[in-house]
């Protein structure tokens, strides 16, 4: 099955967003593999199809040489791992110290959200003949409660979890291992990596030391710590069965697909919990499982902590994740591609084309080159390429090694941002009208090119508010508001401000007509939004 998956990953655009073409590919593969996020909703199992760095302080840096590594410690996280002595080869490690220490820092998360539901009503037959609506229905709000896990990463109350655990939540409560309960604030979230950052008020909270996920080895013992099926403080054990696993097929919004694959039992409710090594170090955030039923079936996947640490560091410092974009289009090297293109290497990433504004092209990389290493790290798969690029920010200078017709060449590449520049991007969604209840961002340059557009806003996340009430779903691309093109969040705010009050039933408010499309289906939809 995995062999078929690898072939489906051909012709992938290396950029830090999901294009329409890829969302369809991932959607199909997800259906085949049964990849699901592991969260619990309404105390029952609900399956969700699931839908990147330099040391702080500098706007840019150079990363070169052999095996240059950016780990969690480079983002300011401390490491005070348990001491694990040498053991004879073949003997099982004693996991009890790691288990006992880690459960104290893994929390139970309860999320409450309001969900708009359609309620069909009986209709008087006379109404049908005398002008009534045969589709008579009403909309009402219905509370939905979801559960998941999180990891305390600092003693002042910062908590890391999955974005899909808290996405759209109106109220978030966190319960510690000692049964203390706190109301949590969502600091920020990144749907592309499925990582979110929460904050609770207090001090001296228990934490888990950060490890280096690059140092994980196949066959190494790990622990999955979380709250499956709403059972608190649960620990399961397994081994690392694969690294840099590309499973972006798990969702339409996922932008980083380089998971740690384990056979530690993970079930709904484990999402956002800790993947811990035998030294008690946090090496990953448990995110999804391989399943055709919604429950554990042998494989689980975690976001490597070296990626997750970069994400939360960016959220704290910049308000949004800073992704360094290489700007190449291509596919993994396969035996068929070697034969067709006459390649001289059997592994790497084949460059077939470039983005509209490409850092790789500007540095001298050409079509037909095969990328074999990033910052000294060998590249054999798309997942590995994504994993390495996810560690850097716009403006970072990295060594990119390619094979060109049998000759190895190294290029110094200055990574770009989503808009094609090399500077750090400021958060652009914070100024959106609060009544909308949404996080929006401008459509990236490569995405605009892919869709054949010159503008647009992406609905990145939703909470209670006007957009959610109108029926708009995440991923929707807004093109116009009251017939005005939306090139920025500011354009949307301008359309809201002059909106004149209209009588809408029992109350008076503003009407906003939004038009756009869903890239997954291609459906063009117009929504009338009451403010």
Separation of alpha carbons 124 and 131, rounded Å: 11
Q: Which of 23, 108, 149, 164 is catalytic?
A: 164
Q: Domain 17-68+95-120+148-318 is in which class?
A: mainly beta
Inter-residue long-range contacts of 18-23, CB under 8 Å, 24+ positions, other chains counted = 18/248, 18/252, 18/253, 18/254, 18/255, 19/446, 19/447, 19/450, 19/451, 19/519, 20/450, 20/451, 20/519, 20/520, 20/522, 21/450, 22/248, 23/252, 23/519, 23/520
Question: For 328-414, CATH number?
Answer: 2.30.42.10
Domain locations in the chain as residue ranges: 17-68+95-120+148-318, 328-414, 434-530
Q: How many CB atoms lie within 10 A of CB 165?
A: 30
Q: Are 391 and 52 in contact (CB under 8 A)?
A: yes
Q: How far apart are CA 475 and CA 429, in angstroms?
A: 15
Is 194 one of the annotated active-site residues of the chain? yes
φ, ψ (nearest 5 deg) of residue 401: -95, 130
To the query of whether residue 164 is one of the catalytic residues in this protein, the response is: yes
339-373 pLDDT tens trace: 999 999 999 999 999 988 899 999 999 999 999 99
Task: Give the pLDDT score at 460.
Answer: 81
Of the candidates 456, 438, 468, the residue with the CA atom closest to the CA atom of residue 530: 468
pTM check: above 0.75: no
Rounded to an integer, what distance in angstroms lies between the CA atom of residue 238 and that of residue 299?
Answer: 10
DSSP code at position 43:
T
2 CB-near residues (< 8 Å, 6+ apart) = none
Which of 222, 203, 225 shows the shortest CA–CA distance to 148? 225
Query: 305 — phi, psi (to 5°)?
Result: -65, -25
Identify the three-state secondary structure at position 279.
coil
Q: What is the reported pLDDT for 389?
A: 92
Would you say the CATH fold of 434-530 matches that of 17-68+95-120+148-318?
Answer: no
Catalytic residue among 74, 167, 194, 263: 194
Place of tokens 């694990």: 84
Q: What is the mean pLDDT of the chain?
A: 79
Give the ranges where 217-347 is alpha helix by DSSP (H).
305-318, 335-341
Residue of 271, 358, 381, 450 marked active site? 271
Q: What is the dihedral of CA 371, 333, 36, 14, to 10 degrees?
A: 40
- pLDDT at residue number 131: 45
pLDDT value at position 379? 95
pLDDT attached to residue 248: 46
DSSP string, 389-455: HTT--TT-EEEEEEEETTEEEEEEEE-B-TTS-SSPPPP-STTS-GGG-EEEEEPPHHHHHHHT-S-
375-379, Cβ contacts within 8 angstroms, sequence gap of 24 or more: 375/63, 375/64, 375/65, 375/68, 375/399, 376/64, 376/65, 376/66, 376/67, 376/68, 377/67, 377/68, 377/69, 379/347, 379/348, 379/349
Task: Determine the Cα–Cα distance for residues 202 and 303; give it in Å rounded to an integer.
Answer: 27
For domain 434-530, which CATH number applies: 4.10.780.10, 3.40.50.300, 2.30.42.10, 1.10.600.10? 2.30.42.10
d(CA 335, CA 347): 9
- What are the 10-residue block averages of pLDDT along the chain, 531 residues in total? 33 34 40 56 32 36 52 69 57 89 97 68 46 50 88 97 90 96 94 93 96 95 95 94 72 65 94 96 94 80 95 92 91 95 96 91 97 95 88 95 97 89 68 74 76 86 82 92 87 71 46 90 89 77
């Amino acid at each position: 099955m995995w062999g078929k998956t690898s072939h489906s990953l051909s012709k992938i655009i290396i950029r830090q967003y999901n294009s329409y073409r890829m969302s369809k590919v991932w959607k199909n593969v997800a259906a085949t593999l049964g990849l699901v996020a592991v969260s619990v909703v309404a105390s029952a199992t609900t399956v969700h199809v699931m839908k990147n760095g330099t040391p702080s302080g500098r706007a840019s840096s150079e990363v070169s040489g052999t095996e240059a590594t950016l780990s969690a410690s480079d983002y300011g996280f401390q490491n005070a791992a348990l001491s694990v002595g040498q053991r004879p080869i073949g003997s099982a490690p004693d996991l009890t110290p790691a288990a006992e220490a880690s459960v104290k820092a893994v929390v139970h998360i309860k999320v409450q959200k309001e969900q708009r539901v359609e309620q069909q009503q009986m209709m008087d037959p006379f109404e049908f003949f005398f002008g009534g609506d045969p589709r008579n229905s009403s909309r009402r709000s219905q509370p939905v409660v979801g559960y998941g896990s999180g990891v305390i990463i600092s003693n002042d109350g910062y908590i890391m979890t999955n974005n899909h655990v808290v996405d759209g939540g109106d109220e978030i409560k966190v319960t510690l291992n000692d049964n203390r309960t706190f109301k949590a604030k969502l600091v920020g979230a990144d749907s592309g990596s499925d990582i979110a950052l929460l904050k609770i008020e207090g001090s001296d909270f228990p934490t888990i030391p950060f490890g280096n996920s690059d140092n994980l080895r196949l066959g190494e013992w790990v622990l999955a710590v979380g709250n499956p099926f709403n059972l608190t403080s649960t620990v399961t054990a397994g081994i690392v069965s694969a690294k840099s696993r590309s499973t972006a097929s798990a969702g339409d919004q996922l932008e980083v697909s380089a998971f740690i694959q384990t056979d530690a039992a993970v079930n709904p409710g484990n999402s956002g919990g800790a993947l811990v090594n035998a030294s008690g170090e946090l090496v990953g955030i448990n995110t999804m499982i391989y399943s055709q039923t919604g429950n554990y079936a042998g494989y689980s996947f975690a976001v490597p902590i070296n990626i997750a640490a970069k994400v939360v560091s960016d959220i704290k410092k910049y308000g949004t994740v800073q992704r360094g974009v290489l700007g190449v289009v291509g596919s993994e090297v396969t035996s068929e591609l070697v034969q067709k293109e006459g390649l001289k290497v059997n592994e790497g990433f084949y460059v077939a084309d470039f983005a509209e504004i490409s850092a790789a092209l500007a540095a001298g990389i050409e079509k037909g080159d095969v990328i074999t290493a990033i910052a000294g790290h060998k590249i054999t798969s798309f997942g590995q390429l994504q994993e390495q690029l996810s560690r850097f920010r716009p403006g970072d200078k990295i060594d990119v090694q390619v094979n060109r017709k049998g000759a190895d060449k190294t290029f110094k590449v200055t990574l770009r941002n989503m808009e094609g520049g090399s500077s750090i991007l400021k958060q652009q969604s914070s100024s959106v009208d609060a009544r909308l209840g949404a996080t929006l961002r401008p459509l990236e340059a490569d995405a605009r090119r892919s869709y054949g557009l010159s503008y647009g806003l992406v609905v990145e996340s939703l909470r209670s508010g006007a957009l959610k009430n109108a029926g708009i779903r995440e991923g929707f691309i807004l093109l116009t508001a009251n017939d005005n093109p939306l090139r920025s969040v500011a354009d949307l705010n301008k359309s809201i401000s002059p909106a004149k009050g209209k009588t809408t039933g029992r109350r008076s408010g503003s009407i906003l007509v939004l038009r756009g499309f869903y890239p997954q289906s291609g459906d063009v939809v117009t929504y009338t939004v009451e403010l």
